[in-house]
Amino acid sequence: MTKQVDVTPRISTARSDGSGPFRIPAPQVKFTMGSGPVGIHERVSLALARAPLYHQDPDFQATFRDTTEKLRRVFCTQHDAFIMQGEAVLGLEAAAANLVEPGDKCLNLVSGVYGAGYRRYFERYGGQVVELAVPYDEAIDPAEVEKVLKREGDVKLIAVVHSETPSGTVNPVREIAALARGYGALTIVDAVSSLGGMPVEVDDWGLDVTVAGPHKCLGAVPGSALVTVSDRAWEKMLKKPQPLRRGYLSMLDWKEGWLGEGRFPFTAFVANIVGLHEALIARLEEGLENSFARHDLAARMCRAGVRALGLELWPAREAIMGSCVTAIKVPAGMNEDEIKLTMNKRYGVVISGGLKELHGKLLRIGHMGHMAQPMYVVVALGALERTLHDLGYPLKFGAGVGAALAAMDADG
Ligand SMILES: *Cc1c(COP(=O)(O)O)cnc(C)c1O
């Protein structure tokens, strides 16, 4: 249950002439550093504000085409990429809707909330689900995947989450995809939060359907599912007894309509696409490797700060921690909602808590996209320190912020 929280802007007694308390309103511009959407760069905001073009306008179509070309570069693929309209989960559900044939054996890999959630898509479209699950603070072990593939013999599809955002962990997708190829299974990879912030090499790793979101490490706004499809996956979609066509979930409509004939299946989300286009231009100007290094630095700083405050990280091991979010255990005796709301309403910094079964247990600081900046991490940690202090947690001011700043040096 959500606790009632006093979130009146902080009353400071620190007027320099000693004439009594005054109120500081919360900052107008919030720092959005949760699990996504996250704060965006001004150039993306400005692109979103441009008057939208009609989707049949050749100028818009050129922008759309260039957006998918840039997406292919970010996904590191020569195969097809397209943009479905709806949140990222539309692309995830569509992968199952297009690929699963009734009776197909589907291996669902579960190391967190999103992994657990994929089961219902496999089941909805007639898959026979086999599950390999680990605790939500762990990652999938490829050796265990191989055991299941060997035991089952005829697994057709494997679903895996790359960056399990609710847990702050990462799964070894590259190794799992190599096994899938060896055993003749296709992969459905949820790279919603990782694309742009951590390496996702669709062709090199041999991924079949990969889905990403614009509103996490890519630094755009929510509302699209960014999808790649391998040739093997198109073949499976086409040879189903009843290939999925003429529907919002159809990937073949995108292949045959837009990629084939340059005809949109529906009215395109023009404003969203222009925003995503700008975010991709920015990311490619920066360089993917530089973006990965920036996300890695932000994550390292955040972890150092959190540890220095005496807080505990949620993932079981350093080796499985991702660069997208830092997941922190709520200190004993404290309330997740109260911490989040105080940070938000008093100090204007928005972080996330635990999702679904993790609610009440976690705080999550997202350092994704434009928000993966060293000094933004310092702001988030500063607000966290002040908030924890306000709520009675013992700490020495600057402990977390100082450790984060020190971690900016490679040897820090
Ligand atoms: C955010 C997220 C999603 C859901 O994306 P939406 O656009 O909100 O549908 C799915 N999977 C992972 C790993 C995510 O981080």
Ligand 1 pocket test: pick from 192, 226, 325 the residue with the most ligand atoms within 8 Å of its Cβ.
192
Q: Ligand 1 atom 11: the closest Cα is on which residue? A: 192
Pairing verdict, β 209-212 and 105-110: unpaired
CA of 14 to the centre of ligand 1 (A): 43
DSSP assignment of 344-378 equals HHHH-EE-EE--GGGTTTEEEEE--GGG--HHHHH
pLDDT for 6: 64
Joined together, the tokens standing for residue 9 give 């802007």
Q: Ligand 1 atom 10: the closest Cα is on which residue? A: 192
Q: Is the CB of residue 249 below 6 angstroms from any atom belonging to ligand 1?
A: no
H or E segment and range at residue 115:
helix 113-124
Give which of 14, 7, 13, 4 is closest to 346, Cα–Cα. 7
CA of 192 to the centre of ligand 1 (A): 5
Q: Is the CB of residue 114 below 6 angstroms from any atom belonging to ligand 1?
A: yes
Give the angle subtended at the CA of 366 by the CAs of 108 and 107, to the nearest 5°: 5
């979130």: which residue's tokens? 7
Atom of ligand 1 nearest to the CA of 36: 1
- Please tell me the distance from the alpha carbon of residue 306 to that of residue 303, in angstroms, as a whole number: 5
pLDDT for 11: 55
pTM: predicted TM-score of the whole model, two decimal places: 0.95
Atom of ligand 1 nearest to the CA of 89: 9
The residue type of 378 is V
Joined together, the tokens standing for residue 348 give 């204007």
Domain spans in the chain, listed from the N-terminal domain onward = 25-39+287-407, 42-284
Q: Is the CB of residue 88 below 6 angstroms from any atom belonging to ligand 1?
A: yes
**Residue 11: CB atoms within 10 Å:** 11
Q: Ligand 1 atom 3: the closest Cα is on which residue? A: 192
pLDDT for 1: 47
Q: Ligand 1 atom 6: the closest Cα is on which residue? A: 88
Expressed in angstroms, the distance from the first to the final Cα of the chain is: 40
Q: Ligand 1 atom 2: the closest Cα is on which residue? A: 192
Give the CA radius of gyration of the chain: 22
CA of 58 to the centre of ligand 1 (A): 31
The fold for domain 25-39+287-407 equals Aspartate Aminotransferase, domain 1 (3.90.1150)
> Which residues, 6 or more positions from 237, have their beta carbon under 8 angstroms from its beta carbon?
98, 99, 229, 243, 244, 251, 252
Joined together, the tokens standing for residue 278 give 């700008």
- Please tell me the distance from the alpha carbon of residue 162 to that of residue 87, in angstroms, as a whole number: 18
- At residue 121, what are phi and psi to the nearest 5 degrees? -70, -45
In this structure, are residues 162 and 189 in contact, taking their beta carbons and an 8 Å threshold? yes
| pLDDT block averages, 10 residues each, the chain of length 412 | 59 70 75 95 95 89 96 98 96 98 98 98 98 98 98 98 98 98 98 98 98 98 97 98 96 95 90 96 98 98 98 98 98 96 92 96 98 97 97 97 94 57
């790649």: which residue's tokens? 228
The architecture in CATH of the region 42-284 reads 3-Layer(aba) Sandwich (3.40)
- At residue 76, what are phi and psi to the nearest 5 degrees? 55, 55
pLDDT for 8: 62
Helix axes 88-99, 231-238, angle to 10 degrees: 60
Q: Is the CB of residue 87 below 6 angstroms from any atom belonging to ligand 1?
A: yes
- Give the single-character DSSP code of 331: P
> Which residues, 6 or more positions from 104, have their beta carbon under 8 angstroms from its beta carbon?
126, 127, 128, 156, 157
- Please tell me the distance from the alpha carbon of residue 404 to that of residue 300, in angstroms, as a whole number: 8
- Please tell me the distance from the alpha carbon of residue 73 to that of residue 41, in angstroms, as a whole number: 21
Q: Is the CB of residue 48 below 6 angstroms from any atom belonging to ligand 1?
A: no
Ligand 1 pocket test: pick from 193, 221, 325, 367 the residue with the most ligand atoms within 8 Å of its Cβ.
193
**Residue 257: CB atoms within 10 Å:** 18
In this structure, are residues 100 and 127 in contact, taking their beta carbons and an 8 Å threshold? yes
CA of 219 to the centre of ligand 1 (A): 14
